[in-house]
Amino acid sequence: MAAKGKQNQKLDGPQSFKPYKARRGERYMNEKQKSHFHEILTEWKSQLMTEVDRTVNYMQDEAANFPDPADRASQEEEFSLELRTRDRERRLIRKIDSTLELIDQSQYGYCESCDVEIGIRRLEARPTATQCIDCKTLDEIKEKQILG
């Protein structure tokens, strides 16, 4: 089974990319920037799809009918955790696809709440971000107040 840290990295974001170096006076979300983020998102999606394939192969190869109930329970728990992770990745792939659509429609990089620029560094940290840091922080504070 893949190491837990490696699984979390896949969900957190793409693993390797060269940070974008904006030039002085450069227009926000120009074609070079859109291309940069399109590449990041496409690579991230590819990594996630590879993990999905790996999981399917792993579960097929490791599936066994253990005579010992404890061994069976351990395997079922392991498979359950893998499937839960893959479900999160499946939802993330959908979010990546919708983000790629935003890039194609030239709507990427702007906060959905206040329409301000999200910022290159924030988008590199979380390419699927749809809110600026201020609006996201406010949403999280409201969520904590509501949910306790």
Q: What is the pLDDT of residues 82-137, one digit of tens each?
A: 889 889 999 999 999 999 999 999 999 999 999 999 999 999 999 999 999 999 99
Helix axes 4-12, 69-104, angle to 10 degrees: 20
Question: Based on the structure, what is the number of domains in the chain?
Answer: 2
Q: What band does 6 get if pLDDT is binned at 50, 70 and 90?
A: very low
Section 44-63 average pLDDT = 84
Average pLDDT, the chain: 87
Residue 15, in any domain of the structure: no
45 and 81 share one domain: yes
Whole-number Å distance between alpha carbons of 113 and 134:
10
Q: How much is the pTM?
A: 0.79
Decide if 111 contacts 132 (C-beta within 8 A). Answer: yes
What's the CATH number where 94 sits? 1.20.120.910
103 and 116 share one domain: no
Residue 14, in any domain of the structure: no
55 and 127 share one domain: no
Decide if 127 contacts 14 (C-beta within 8 A). Answer: yes
| 67 to 59, 70, 78, 99, 113: CA distances (angstroms) | 18, 9, 17, 47, 56
Query: What integer pLDDT is reported at residue 11 of this predicted model?
Result: 59
**Range of 140's domain?**
109-148
Decide if 69 contacts 53 (C-beta within 8 A). Answer: no
46 and 70 share one domain: yes
